Structure 1
């Protein structure tokens, strides 16, 4: 793998983790939201990632020569956890039975996701910095 490909790989990881952090922030912002029906209650969003694959560019390159160059976002799903219901007949958002429905966001899980995404982002930054230092040292050796 060339050193320039390392920047592509780390960059795609940083972009993916940035999206993951934004999704976590959105989930946490809606953790205490209420709704009048379980269908319209906020459901936690989760990103789906997949590896990117490119050929190594050799003569007669085929899928057998595919290499993973990073990660890409392939979609967003909603959590299938049930939403919480609370009996609050005085709430203006309550349904005809007096229930309001909260989101299915688990703040503890989201904080764990935030820490994990932040550390992964930091690791990708370190990979880029180390690669940059290696390139500079290599150029210095040639001088």
Structure 2
């Protein structure tokens, strides 16, 4: 694996982390979205990813990861008694998504660390490449 392969693999990790952060931000921004009890609640987003083996797909492709899709949580939600809410049913209940703030914040921290780690790999590979170019100047 060469320096450019390391940059490609780390870049793919950064892309997955960014898409994971997008899903988390979507979950966080919709966790307080109320709906009628007879409607589906906002469905939590989960990013699914898979590893790409070095040289596997096109003969010389760098390893890394890629997003393979998005999975959705249950639309059941949780019932909350809010009789003053304009969406409340005859019993005073509305439905909210079943999204746990603590879990989302934990995932956000993991995603930020993954992005930072991959960005550090790109930076180190770039520094190594620049150092290799300086060898020929002397």
Q: TM-score range by the shorter chain?
A: 0.7 to 0.9
Going from structure 1 to structure 2, the CA distance change for 1:83 and 1:38 (only over 3 Å counts) comes to: farther
Q: CA RMSD in A?
A: 2.3
How many pairs were matched up? Answer: 136
Where does the alignment leave 5 or more consecutive residues of structure 2 unmatched? none
Paired position in structure 1 for 2:129: 135
Paired position in structure 2 for 1:4: 4
Going from structure 1 to structure 2, the CA distance change for 1:4 and 1:38 (only over 3 Å counts) comes to: farther
Structure 1 segments of 4 or more deviating over 4 A? none
Q: When you count strand as a share of all residues, which structure comes out higher?
A: 1
Using the size of structure 1 for normalisation, the TM-score is: 0.83
Deviations 1:78-103 (A, max 9, x none): 12485210123443212344321111
Where does the alignment leave 5 or more consecutive residues of structure 1 unmatched? none
Select 2:73's aligned residue among 71, 79, 83: 79
Going from structure 1 to structure 2, the CA distance change for 1:72 and 1:133 (only over 3 Å counts) comes to: same
Deviations 1:46-72 (A, max 9, x none): 110011245369xxx6xxxx9861111
Distance 1:34 1:81 in 2: 12
Paired position in structure 2 for 1:31: 31
Deviation at 1:127, TM superposition (A): 0.3
Deviation at 1:39, TM superposition (A): 4.6
